[in-house]
Amino acid sequence: MLRRLRTWAFLGSSVLIACGRPARPPNVLLIVIDTLRADRVGWYGDGRRLTPFLDSLAAQGTVFSHAYAQGSWTAPSVASLLTSRYPSQHQVSAFHSVLADEEVTLAEVLGQNGWVNGGFTANVVLDGRLGYRQGFDSWVVVEGDVPARASFLPDARIKPRARHVREQVRVWLDTVQRERPATPIFLYVQYMEPHTPYGPPRELVDRLLARHADAGRARAVLDALYTLPNLHRWNRPDPEFLTSIEDLYDAEVSDLDTELARLFADLERSGFLANAIVVVTADHGEEFMDHGRMQHGTSLYEEIIHVPLLVRAPGDTRRRDVADTVQLIDVAPTVLRLAGVPPPSSFEGRALLPPAGGQAIAYSEQTADPSEVLGVKSQRHERAVVAGTQKVVLAVGGGVETYDLASDPLEQHADGLPAPDRTRLESAMAESWRRAQRHPSPHRRLRLDAPMKDRLRALGYVQ
């Protein structure tokens, strides 16, 4: 891998001389908000007013309204984000999958070209031993307030909060800027607030409960969420219980937005943002019985794979909206173009800025079922392709669902496209699948130790 990196890094140097890298290489900030549905972000028109700070960022950046994740849960999606490759290629398909050394990550490319790289994640699934730290000078899996421990109920206290992440980022950044003041910095930050188990500040919950006609009843239902008799209702909640779950989710989104404002204030004071590429996105969304299930990891419906995406380049002063269909594998090539660095040949995505235009598609897939760790098979879909407002989904067992997202954005009618469009999208899916089979990395797995299993259990991943 290192030999391959050196080869294209050397070739890239001549390109940079020709096209001219910016005189001062920009810092890079890549923020991933775990489990954030696109429809909860104000810059897409959401009326809940949960994200005023994120909305203010959009006033000076490019908003991509049709961005799609390549996977339906964290590990494969983040691996695709960092490598600009499809899950079938990087082979990350389970909690104990290892991102192979043969993969080339965005951090490795930037590091080879002079950046110092720091990664901070609140999600234990992204353990550095699983390969995610490739190219990072520092990779930190942030811990919460209490030690991990085995528990039958998911424990909201164990989930690291955004303040824990911000504290770690501030300490690392202060050190790097003091010791290497002229070096550009790549900062990767992943938050867990919208992911279960929920534990938002009570004042935010009270504010959201006030929108209910009977706030007292809403509070009583919400307080019962984490009691043992109601544990089974998380998987098949009645409407009242579901409303309370969504209230908690919304409160977590709102809390994170406030914390992001504090992070950006820190970065502004440090000078980091004076010349920086900023990307904000999510690894996947969340299902709240939209299609009869809860959480994520088993389907490829819009509430799961349609993710928010904002890119702010140095010097941006106004908002631009791009309606092209784009993918998370496009993020790394976009960052490199803005940074003046050529991408490696292994990258499958395309640079999004300046907007390329033209018809593009997004391809998502599930190469395995993450619930295999639980000993239960529940995968619903295998592959999906989105082209503009048209979508085709291949179900487990071979069934095909087609949707016209313009007239049916909630995907309620699974036979929504005329035969010619269905045939065209099925051909595009077959071609995307063939492309995703090219140059696969070795499939490696790490044996999960007891402490990691305890943390996964405390977050509700493992029983």
Give the mean model confidence (pLDDT) for residues 262-282. Answer: 97
Closest Cα partner for 231 from 217, 241, 239?
241
CATH number at residue 233: 3.40.720.10
Query: Which pLDDT band, with edges at 50, 70 and 90, does 149 fall under?
Result: very low
Give the mean model confidence (pLDDT) for residues 197-223. Answer: 85
Residue 376, in any domain of the structure: no
- Token code pair at residue 363: 């391809």
Among 15-29, 120-134, 165-179, 339-353, the minimum mean pLDDT is found in 15-29
For the chain, give the number of residues.
Answer: 463
C-alpha angle 220/248/124, rounded to 5°?
130
Residue 397, in any domain of the structure: no
C-alpha angle 183/59/109, rounded to 5°?
30
Greater pLDDT, 209 or 187: 187
Mean pLDDT of the chain: 87
Residue 391, in any domain of the structure: no
Residue 230, in any domain of the structure: yes
Closest Cα partner for 331 from 382, 162, 339, 216?
339
Give the mean model confidence (pLDDT) for residues 223-234. Answer: 76
CA distance 104 to 109: 7
CA distance 152 to 108: 40
Residue 399, in any domain of the structure: no
**Greatest pairwise CA separation for the chain in angstroms:** 67
Q: What is the count of structural domains for the chain? A: 1
Closest Cα partner for 50 from 156, 159, 205, 199?
205
For residue 157, pLDDT beyond 80? no
Residue 451, in any domain of the structure: no
Query: Which pLDDT band, with edges at 50, 70 and 90, does 53 fall under?
Result: very high
> Which phi-psi region, left, alpha or beta, contains residue 228 (left: φ > 0; alpha: ψ -120 to 50)?
alpha
Contact 393, 375 (CB under 8 A): no
Q: Which domain holds residue 55?
A: 2-360
In the prediction, which pLDDT does 236 show? Answer: 83
Residue 241, in any domain of the structure: yes
Residue 350, in any domain of the structure: yes
In the prediction, which pLDDT does 309 show? Answer: 98
Residue type, 218: A
